[in-house]
Copies of this chain bind each other. A is one copy, B any other.
Amino acid sequence: MNAVTGFDRIVSLSVPSRVESYISAHDFAHPTLVIDVDAVERQFHALSAGLGRAHIHYAVKANPHPAIIERLVNLGSGFDAASRGEIELVLGQGADVDHVSFGNTIKKASDIRFAHNAGVTLFAVDAEEEMLKIAENAPGARVYIRVIVDNSEADWPLSRKFGCASDKVMTLLAMARDLGLVPHGLSFHVGSQTREARMWTGTLDQVAAIWHRACDEGFYLQLLNIGGGFPAFYGEEIQRPTAYAAAVIDLIEARFGFVPQIMAEPGRGMVAEAGAIAAEVVLTSKKSEDDLHRWVYLDIGRFSGLAETEGEAIRYQFVTARDGDVTGPCVLAGPSCDSADVLYEKRPIQLPLSLKAGDKIIIRNCGAYTSTYSSVCFNGFPPLDAIVI
């Protein structure tokens, strides 16, 4: 244990993971995400150990690679699906439909009907119009109300896009009941990449107040869906998964008392550390003789897999064969003819000054929100390849 912070760093920079060793030993014609499904399984067990009786519904959008879904099906995981396409995917890999929730609050009527006909009975809702669509297209379904919470402690706080304010929750629960639906519970999201369990406290206080008010008003809520927010290691310390999950459950029990069903939706926290990207340096340069920093251009950028560098939000870590050489500040950019395709400029990163065109570069912990964010053919570049080892 780290005496100062009270938790360990989850990854030591000195020990390459299995995917990093694989990348070092192989050549790649294009940027490629390499995934270790055994690492996903280990993370599933680590999170499950902390979550106890709370059930994991993997957030498929983080990485829908069929090999990941298949492994999680075999481990008994549930699935949080964002779309008809994701429902088809997980059912195709053998998921039990009772363990699939349609967690997007924004659903076409035809997709709700598809899910209902496929046997999905659990839906997220945050608005009256959505409730009407569900009542019409999935009669009798269980619904949980997504609530907006203040989540200022996350590395990537969410916008107000999802959820409703507390003043609407009772209205929606009553509407569900009146429409013949089951007002089943509440959901929230603490914010992406919430690095320590203690950062959940303020959010849980807010949701518990709504939960208890709903119970006081006669709604027999069954389900608390705590969403995601489980972190991955990007260079800043994070709490280990088992301790993190257990501490979150402790915080919940202290505020909610007995909750019949708790559901957690890790996505990034399940798969990010199980993948790394093999990339290549295409060009290094200085814009002017006087510049104090260099530009380093990779064969992957914001539109070919690294979308989460928008606003320099997620700061990936890079490994090269020249690590140990003298470093200097570098602006990092992608290969496209798009001036917005810059990864890190406001806060340049330190890279070896010996780095040059043609060098291989490994981007760590890229298992989440990379391959499917890649564009179909931006600037004529093919989408990010993904392979499983």
Using a CB–CB cutoff of 8 Å, the interface residues on chain A facing chain B are 59-61, 64, 81-87, 89, 103-109, 126-130, 133, 148, 158-165, 167-168, 192, 280, 282-290, 295, 297, 299, 303, 307, 310, 333, 335-342, 345, 356-358, 371-383
Q: How far is the CA of A335 from the CA of B286 in the complex (A)?
A: 41
A357-B133 in contact given A333-B161, A374-B375 (Cβ < 8 Å): yes
Q: How far is the CA of A30 from the CA of B161 in the complex (A)?
A: 22
Distance in angstroms from A227 CB to nearest chain B CB is: 10
| Residue among A337, A340, A371 having the largest count of chain B Cβ atoms under 10 Å | A337
Option from B103, B104, B133, B295 in Cβ contact (under 8 Å) with A335:
B104
A372-B383 in contact given A285-B128, A333-B161 (Cβ < 8 Å): no
Residues on B with C-beta less than 8 A from A64 are 377, 380
Option from B168, B286, B290 in Cβ contact (under 8 Å) with A288:
B168
Task: State the 7 A-B residue pairs at the shortest beta-carbon distance, nearest first.
Answer: A85-B380, A127-B285, A165-B288, A86-B380, A83-B380, A158-B339, A82-B379
Q: How far is the CA of A59 from the CA of B126 in the complex (A)?
A: 43
Residues on B with C-beta less than 8 A from A128 are 285
Residues on B with C-beta less than 8 A from A163 are 287
Q: Are A108 and B382 in contact (CB under 8 A)?
A: no
Quick one: copies of this chain in the complex?
2
Q: How far is the CA of A339 from the CA of B104 in the complex (A)?
A: 11
Q: How far is the CA of A350 from the CA of B163 in the complex (A)?
A: 22
Which single residue of chain B is at the shortest CB-CB distance from A105? B283
Q: Are B375 and A375 in contact (CB under 8 A)?
A: yes
Q: List 14 A-B contacts (CB under 8 A).
A: A61-B378, A61-B379, A64-B377, A107-B282, A109-B358, A127-B295, A129-B285, A161-B339, A161-B342, A163-B287, A164-B285, A167-B289, A372-B377, A376-B376
Residues on B with C-beta less than 8 A from A107 are 282-283
A285-B130 in contact given A297-B106, A337-B103 (Cβ < 8 Å): yes
| Residue among A59, A104, A287, A345 having the largest count of chain B Cβ atoms under 10 Å | A287
Q: How far is the CA of A105 from the CA of B343 in the complex (A)?
A: 17
Which single residue of chain B is at the shortest CB-CB distance from A338? B61
Residues on B with C-beta less than 8 A from A358 are 109
Residues on B with C-beta less than 8 A from A282 are 106-108
Q: How far is the CA of A382 from the CA of B89 in the complex (A)?
A: 13
Residues on B with C-beta less than 8 A from A283 are 105-107, 127, 129-130
Residues on B with C-beta less than 8 A from A299 are 108
Option from B59, B164, B284, B297 in Cβ contact (under 8 Å) with A287:
B164
A287-B160 in contact given A107-B282, A337-B61, A378-B373 (Cβ < 8 Å): yes
Residues on B with C-beta less than 8 A from A161 are 295, 333, 339, 341-342
User: Assuming A372-B378, A375-B375, what are 13 further A-B pairs, CB within 8 angstroms?
Assistant: A61-B379, A82-B336, A82-B337, A82-B379, A103-B337, A107-B283, A127-B286, A133-B357, A164-B285, A167-B288, A168-B287, A303-B307, A373-B375
Q: Are B373 and A303 in contact (CB under 8 A)?
A: yes
Which single residue of chain B is at the shortest CB-CB distance from A356? B129
Residues on B with C-beta less than 8 A from A86 are 379-380
Distance in angstroms from A24 CB to nearest chain B CB is: 20
A290-B167 in contact given A82-B379, A310-B340, A382-B85 (Cβ < 8 Å): yes
Residues on B with C-beta less than 8 A from A373 are 303, 375, 378
Residues on B with C-beta less than 8 A from A371 are 376
Which single residue of chain B is at the shortest CB-CB distance from A166? B288
Q: How far is the CA of A374 from the CA of B297 in the complex (A)?
A: 22
Distance in angstroms from A163 CB to nearest chain B CB is: 7
Q: How far is the CA of A64 from the CA of B310 in the complex (A)?
A: 25
